[in-house]
Chains A and B, each alone.
Chain A
């Protein structure tokens, strides 16, 4: 996880060998991504953030082409996948709706029973119904021992399937936590409009066009009581967004 521009896509593209690392080393299944990328990909599936499939091919031809490029292509698995994620196989992909393309993207990533599937914000274009189907499917696949490597900037998305969350910022891994630990870092954003200038000892405030923004985590009671001393013209209370969790906890 990480805010936009943190380096999520870059990380995935580097791990897949699309980009050359500027430094450091990475290993998948104990294999060096710079030297043994072909062997790694034999066991890996990939759903890109922006799906660009061969528009001039029918889905059938596309799946046939990619299936042939993989040693461990599993026809039975493909059938199962197509039952869950139904797509018009004989139609050219360029005529597909976004949802159909997404489904086809899922099918191609899993049709060779990979041990690891890398997904770059996979649900960004899925409608809620398909999203649920997709998560249910991922949970089933997980039970079979597959590893799902998902990039996202939406906490609620991640907490549905993931057990561990790495947080990246400016290209660096700044935290690696269990999902429960991350979820406990909840909080509220309180925005108040007052006549006076707000100053509470030990609490950071931020002025924003007449409003004062305060991130409230555990000290709810204390802050509300402090705020009561002021003349409040207006107040807004909202959930802490992931961006704000990052700003607050992982600076």
Chain B
């Protein structure tokens, strides 16, 4: 666990910043909710938007008359599925590629640790940050909701956050796979961000018409829909199982690739 702990120690500033940003963002989003709720014009406006827009920003309904529907649209669909997905894929895609780029990997590998262990510990080092943001944010939501006299079902709120853990795990595993393939962090970063973003768009497209519905299955976002649990109180166990399986497969692929590759002097 030494590498995981070290990895966590060196990244705490980033984790803290991320949490502060989301605490601020969440509080701000909820603070303007009472005004939004009262403006009926906005409701009509949202419903008049093209279907493409709705599928990108509001899977599982755009009902902003209830706090859940509002949060789904204003925070979860893009903030969680897209933004945090991109963030975790980005962070993890640097983990090995940066060590190869900076050539610190030579020093690390001169220690009696296998490459598989290095990779798995780097992955484990990310888990606390995934869990933490999923604790601070719902707590802020509950606090702010109480402040503006709105109610939100705490059980399904926490479940919605819990279900994002396998989603972010898969995003991290994907980032790690890119990070062992590329010698330059920037290339791994770009590909990781692009893939998560691309998958988000694919999922949105798949909702547009029956014709495209099948292609959504290749997207990670397809297996995590915060709106479903938050608004419809629908618990998607299958999605969790699939995301954890994808995580395991991607991690295994990353370990195998990392073990086989040469660390050459560039």
B265:A13 contact, CB within 8 angstroms = yes
* CB proximity of B106 to chain A, nearest CB, Å: 5
State whether A46 and B112 are in contact (beta carbons under 8 Å apart), knowing that A20-B260, A52-B104 are contacts in the complex: no
Query: Which chain A residues border B113 with CB–CB below 8 Å?
Result: 38, 41, 69
State whether A18 and B263 are in contact (beta carbons under 8 Å apart), knowing that A41-B110, A46-B110, A70-B111 are contacts in the complex: yes
- Cβ-based interface call for A204 (8 A): no
Query: Which chain A residues border B107 with CB–CB below 8 Å?
Result: 46, 48, 52-54, 66, 108
Chain B residue at smallest Cβ distance from A118: B110
Query: Which chain B residues border A32 with CB–CB below 8 Å?
Result: none
Complex Cα–Cα for A98 and B143 (A): 53
A41:B260 contact, CB within 8 angstroms = no
Complex Cα–Cα for A71 and B2 (A): 12
Complex Cα–Cα for A17 and B262 (A): 9
The 6 closest A-B pairs by CB, nearest first: A52-B103, A46-B110, A41-B112, A42-B112, A69-B111, A18-B263
State whether A16 and B109 are in contact (beta carbons under 8 Å apart), knowing that A9-B265, A52-B103, A68-B2 are contacts in the complex: yes
User: B residues touching A (Cβ–Cβ < 8 Å)?
Assistant: 2-3, 6, 10, 102-104, 106-107, 109-114, 260, 262-265
Interface size for chain A: under 10, 10 to 19, 20 to 34, or 35 or more residues?
Answer: 20 to 34
- Cβ-based interface call for A50 (8 A): yes
Query: Which chain A residues border B106 with CB–CB below 8 Å?
Result: 18, 46, 48, 52
A19:B262 contact, CB within 8 angstroms = yes
Chain A residue at smallest Cβ distance from B260: A20
B263:A56 contact, CB within 8 angstroms = no
Please pick, from B104, B111, B112, the residue contacting A54 in the complex, using a CB distance under 8 A: B104
Query: Which chain B residues border A53 with CB–CB below 8 Å?
Result: 104, 107
| Additional A-B contact list (18), CB under 8 Å, known A70-B111, A108-B107 | A13-B264, A13-B265, A16-B110, A18-B106, A19-B263, A19-B264, A38-B113, A39-B112, A45-B110, A48-B106, A48-B110, A52-B104, A53-B104, A53-B107, A54-B104, A65-B2, A65-B6, A69-B111
